[in-house]
Amino acid sequence: MKIGFIGLGIMGKPMVKNLMKGGYTDVLVNNRSRAAVDEIVACGAAAATNEEIGRECDVVMTMLPNSPQVREVMLGEGGVGSFMKEGSVFIDMSSINPVASQEIAAELAKRGVEMLDAPVSGGEPKAIDGSLSFMVGGKQEVFDAYKPLLLTMGASVVRCGDVGAGNTTKLANQIIVACNIQALAEALMLAKKAGVDPQLVFEAIRGGLAGSTVMNAKAPMMIEGNDKPGFKIDLHIKDLNNALDCAHTVGSPVPMTAQVQEIFQWLHNREGGQKDHSAIAQYYEFLTGEKIGE
């Protein structure tokens, strides 16, 4: 099986490395940044143009920022989709609007190309160690055929429905994560203002009902004042914009999502967009004039 992989950013680069470690070594790659391509080529992949990837590969995989980039790479002038052969498969692991996934799938279907939308959760650390969670939309038989491929990069691969269901699930995931992070920052600041050590509050509640993967990952960062990005605020803004667009389309109320999006946007406007989304704590620190961890 020859695989094409487009998008070698903070997530894509470790993902394709794990793909190759998993035994899929016939890989062609392309990316805007040549340095990322060179790094993956040094691991045994081959550099290629989008046209070469479309013509030569049985499976094309993308890990790109948002819907416009996926649409352009696949369906734009000289896009990969125009060169893919009938019977080949496109797996988009980007987090995009599910409506866009369905539209791209419909265009590719006219050319005899199947599609899975397979966004991931876990951020850079899980991309590096190969333990991402994949949320997948597409036909059952296509999912079954390519689940082993995805398992080289993840610990969990679940089919959620037809094309678009993967990205709908990812939007639900991103809403829960965002609201969880906001609640965590709010709670730790309450503890600080009440004269209780936030570290001890974290240790006391992490094993109870309030405990979560989000808390375990982000509470230490808030307490330490560490905003080095594992998942950037600007990327979460993108995801929540897609969630709001989708919710408005289907008529689902999302008031909590709208509120946390406004806080993320406030941080973006104050040069916080490239910080980790746990830096939402800095919004509360600005309002109170106190640091959670001091």
Note whether 26 and 1 are within 8 A (CB): yes
Give the pair of three-digit tokens for residue 256: 């909590």
CA nearest neighbour of 252 among 146, 185, 174, 168: 168
Distance CA 137, CA 140 (A): 9
In the block, tokens 């391509």 appear at: 37
Helices (H) and strands (E) in the chain, counts: 13, 9
Note whether 113 and 88 are within 8 A (CB): yes
> What phi and psi values does residue 27 have, to the nearest 5 degrees?
-125, 130
Of residues 13, 17, 170, 232, which has the active-site annotation?
A: 170
221 contacts: CB under 8 Å, gap ≥ 6:
227, 276, 278
Distance CA 223, CA 226 (A): 8
DSSP letter, residue 84: P
Active site residue 21: no
Q: Which residues are catalytic?
A: 170
